[in-house]
């Protein structure tokens, strides 16, 4: 047990509790390694019937990964960043393939790395507090931790819309899109945890009894517009379509995309295209690891972190500055397989 991650068993339930409240429980490598080790120990422990993943105190479930560390590493040799991605993606994959029931409680901010540990779980609880997003294009990154797999499998072009804009879904929207399996009032979350601990073999029954009908999913009222405006896998086409549309929704999305890294947006569209064709989640992790190891050392990520997280001036200077200037050759370099012996492998 460490300060940042609380590992315990209650009855027949293994509990993983994120505990970095001042950082909105953002993941560091020690937390990822700790969760991996616990999951491995519980995998063959007959006394553990299910795993419950939540946060211990404070706001948010998990705001992402340790972005400052990634930026500092990316500015040098990138070794610490590669080590973090290796552990984080192994954790994502371990959760995705875990045989025992897993439950994630997305009560609060669930972004980036938080999405990566929540979505592989069999049961995913959303509440009125849920704020679910993959906002990475705003810091020159891309929706990793399996984003290429999950977003590519959302209805229509909603995945591409979320990847490019970083739009924040509320709990009702996450539930409507299947990203959450159950919608509970936040006031019922502790009762749900207690019921799971009391009888981990009846998680379905416990959650069904406490779930309520969520509010209308506001984003779905724009479903037709999203499918039309984000229909292309080519960024230049998406921007042109938005520019040609005289609707308020299109104008709003165009203004948002103008603030994002063109390179990161192109990487994201390529990732979702490839992700939709992937035959296994492990294949997705292999590709995302290669892409992440390269992107983290490129200008746009370092500049995005500076502008959004360090200096907070919100004026990143992207290079190249336009979609047209991000060549196919650059994207192909980013997506090239890692050299033999350096590729991602499961734990």
**Is 204 labeled as catalytic in the residue annotation?**
no
Please identify which of the residues 66, 144, 173, 274 carries the catalytic annotation.
Answer: 144
| pLDDT, tens digit (0-9, with 9 covering 90-100), for 121-174 | 999 999 999 999 999 999 999 999 999 999 999 999 999 999 999 999 999 999
- Dmax over Cα atoms in the chain, in whole Å? 60
**Is 144 labeled as catalytic in the residue annotation?**
yes
Neighbours of 336 (CB within 10 A): 11
CB 144 within 8 A of CB 98: no
C-alpha to C-alpha distance for 146 and 152, rounded to whole angstroms: 10
**Is 113 labeled as catalytic in the residue annotation?**
yes
Phi, psi of 103 (to 5 degrees): -130, 125
CB 168 within 8 A of CB 106: no
Please identify which of the residues 108, 113, 138, 166 carries the catalytic annotation.
Answer: 113
Among candidates 147, 21, 8, 7, which has minimal Cα distance to 89?
A: 147
| pLDDT, tens digit (0-9, with 9 covering 90-100), for 83-128 | 999 999 999 999 999 999 999 999 999 999 999 999 999 999 999 9
| pLDDT, tens digit (0-9, with 9 covering 90-100), for 167-193 | 999 999 999 999 999 999 999 999 999
- 210's enclosing H/E stretch is helix 203-210
Domains and CATH numbers, the chain: 5-335 (3.90.226.10)
* Confidence at residue 59, expressed as pLDDT on a 0 to 100 scale: 83
**pTM greater than the 0.85 cutoff:** yes
The whole-number average pLDDT for the span 267-287 is 98
**Is 65 labeled as catalytic in the residue annotation?**
yes
DSSP 3-state assignment of 65?
strand
| pLDDT, tens digit (0-9, with 9 covering 90-100), for 53-80 | 999 988 889 999 999 999 999 999 999 9
Please identify which of the residues 4, 88, 107, 136 carries the catalytic annotation.
Answer: 136
């Amino acid at each position: 047990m460490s300060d940042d991650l609380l590992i315990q068993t209650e009855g027949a339930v293994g509990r993983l509790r994120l505990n970095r409240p001042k950082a909105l429980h953002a993941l560091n490598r020690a937390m990822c390694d700790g969760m991996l080790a616990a999951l491995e120990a519980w995998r063959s422990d007959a006394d553990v019937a299910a795993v419950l993943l939540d946060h211990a105190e404070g706001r948010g479930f998990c705001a992402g990964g340790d972005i400052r560390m990634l930026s500092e590493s990316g500015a040098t040799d990138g070794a610490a960043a590669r080590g973090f991605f290796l552990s984080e993606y192994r954790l994502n994959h371990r959760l995705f393939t875990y045989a025992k029931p897993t439950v994630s409680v997305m009560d609060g901010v669930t972004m980036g790395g938080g999405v990566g540990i929540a979505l592989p779980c069999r049961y995913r609880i959303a509440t009125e507090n849920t704020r679910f997003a993959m906002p990475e294009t705003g810091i020159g990154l891309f929706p990793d931790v399996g984003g290429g797999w999950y977003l590519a499998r959302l209805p229509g072009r909603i995945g591409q819309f979320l990847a490019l804009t970083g739009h924040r879904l509320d709990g009702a929207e996450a539930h409507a899109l299947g990203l959450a399996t159950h919608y509970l009032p936040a006031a019922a979350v502790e009762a749900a945890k207690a019921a799971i601990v009391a009888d981990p073999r009846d998680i379905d029954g416990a959650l069904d009894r406490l779930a309520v009908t969520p509010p209308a999913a506001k984003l779905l009222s724009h479903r037709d517009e999203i499918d039309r405006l984000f229909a292309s896998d080519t960024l230049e086409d998406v921007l042109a379509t938005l520019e040609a549309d005289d609707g308020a929704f299109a104008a709003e999305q165009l203004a948002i995309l103008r603030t994002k890294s063109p390179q990161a947006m192109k990487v994201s569209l390529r990732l979702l295209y490839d992700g939709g064709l992937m035959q296994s989640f492990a294949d997705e992790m292999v590709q995302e690891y290669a892409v992440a190891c390269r992107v983290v050392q490129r200008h746009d990520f370092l500049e995005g972190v500076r502008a959004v997280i360090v200096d907070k001036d919100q004026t990143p200077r992207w290079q190249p500055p336009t979609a047209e200037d991000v060549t196919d050759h650059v994207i192909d370099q980013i997506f090239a397989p890692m050299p033999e012996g350096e590729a991602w492998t499961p734990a």
